[in-house]
Structure 1
Amino acid sequence: MMAQGLWQFLSGSIDNALSTFVTSVSSSIASGITPAVMAGVTIWILMYGWTVMRGEVHEPVHQFAVRAFKMSAILAVALGSGAYQANVVEFVNGLTTGLVQTVMPGTTSNVFSAIDQLDSKAFALTQMLWERGTNLMPWGGIADLISALIVGVSAALAELVMAGLLLLAKVALSFMLAVGPLFLACLAFGPTKRFAEGWVSKIANYSVLIFFLAAAAGICLSIYETFVNGLLAGSATNNPLGDAFSLLALAGAINVLIIQLPSVAAGISGGAAISGAAAMAVGAFLGRLSSGGFGGEQNQPFLKTENGGGSISGDAGRGAGRPSGSGDGQIPAYQRATHERLLGRR
């Protein structure tokens, strides 16, 4: 058997691969977007000079100096691969690791190491029940064999849910860090600033999710380990089948708790949950369906009815062009000013 546990080995291997991936991809993106960013900076300088010539800027030197300093600082980090990796990537990884270490039980600093400890305890209990059941065969031991299978399945389910979501969050966080230079460069320009804000929201979402998963895993693993230790201590006198089903119920309760954490983290950080893409797509589809987005009359949202009201298409557009004595009476007051501006009557 390997010196370190399965999950710790898998986590270390994925971390090494993701570290190389983030470094190479972020460097490639930083060098690839440099010409486009420089063109954007040039256009911004030209447009700023044009506004100064038109007299729209009251303090041109001061405002230009402040905005140019902010833009240069942001682009220095975004386009310099070494600066991005040393500041942004190291900060996010260090913050996430530090938060995880604060909630781990005892001297354990790695959540995957704690999952491996659970795996070893569950394997010891499964092996004990299986060996006792095989020794009592063919005249007995069936309950022990079934109990061993149930214990193994319950432990595997708990480990897969906890470790799987943790690995998924770490991979998603690494992917967001890999494309970070592109979104960080968007922060330098006003029209694209919202893309950078969305990227920061996703980074916060995955970091908080990893922290919540580590905290919940530490608590649940402590409960699980205490339960398994009790089963090992009283294995000679306890009912093995009843204990195995109790362990299965405990694993199910732990999984229900763990599965809810992505939505909680998304609600706090303002992002979307990892597993919420399908729900978002279904919600958008139903929203379009309920609003008539797939029907034939989506281009006529305010049709005239017998009870009055107006329309922004058809007769309303023609009515807006009539003299005020005839056409304005068919258009509500809240729409009349807009129609007059569009038709050049003001």
Structure 2
Amino acid sequence: MGNKNWVLVPRPTGREILRCRWGFLVKYTGTGKIDHFKARSVIKGFLQEYGIDYNEIFSLMEVVLSLDLEIHQIDVKTDFLNGLLEEEIYMPQPEGFPSPGQEDLTHKESIWVEQAPRVRYQTLSAFLVKLSIFKLIKSNYVFIRTIDGVTCYIAVYVDGLLIIVPTRALITELKSALKKRLSITDLGEMKCLLGWSIQPDRNNRTIFVQKVIDRHSNYILYPSATPADRNVKLPVSSQPASEAGKVAMKSYPYRETVGSIMYLMVGTRPDMAFYMRKVSKFLANPGTEYWNAVVRGLKFLARKKDYDICLGGSQEVTPDNLADRLTAYNDSDYANYPTRVVRLEDT
């Protein structure tokens, strides 16, 4: 409300009123403790109609830079509320904000509408250009500035910004400039990002891993040394064919568990990739054998919950030689057909 993101108006004639709801979020520190709470009035953007409520959209991606630089985190309080929508969006007043005679809101800026990421990106990009910070040609979500041989980066993600620079003095300079335009919270050195605990000494367990383990603790009776059993196959014929079998499987959180582990795999646990390729094939109609395979992955996470990825940390790494230091390993099988001797390799 303080940013004048919407105004109260009478209900318009002939316009769809998009429903809204409150969204509550808990922000954690790098050690897993509660840092602060956030509340947002979010509009149900999936109800929008193309050509009426929006015309163009845009989506940002996350990036991690593996150079040994200073990394500080900024939380943008207003999220998608910094831009100006070209279209008028109407929704009921949020619960708890009644105003007699004014039944609806007109949104000039709003979170979760289809075009909100695009509007916010345009606003932020224009502001950074004024600071001589320009986006990379091949990445719309990483901005870069080089002055007198000193390079700084700003990575954009959903909740805010990462400032990646070689010196603390430069961090202070950039933060001061950002505060002139954005309503921000300075979180200091990056400790927690998207549920992952990020520590220079790598001694703390990942927050999200622990949450997954705690959520499924009833199924983890003992740990496992590997995420999958090489001798166990998961054929399509093991899927339940009867309605009784399908109903029985609904008591297991198959989709939720696979989705949680996949989130870990994409971010910090590539060792779960082969396992996820197996169990994610049967989300629509999983059987008991498939659920047992998922549980084995949970047992492996319980045993190896402190596994992580080490990025950078070596003085020998520079932007010029980083590509030469990247090493990838490849595994192969018989094209997932144990009875056929057909070897496939990815290079």
TM-score by length of 2: 0.23
More helix by share: 1
Q: Greater share of strand residues, 1 or 2?
A: 2
Bigger CA radius of gyration: 1
- Which TM-score applies when normalising by structure 1? 0.23
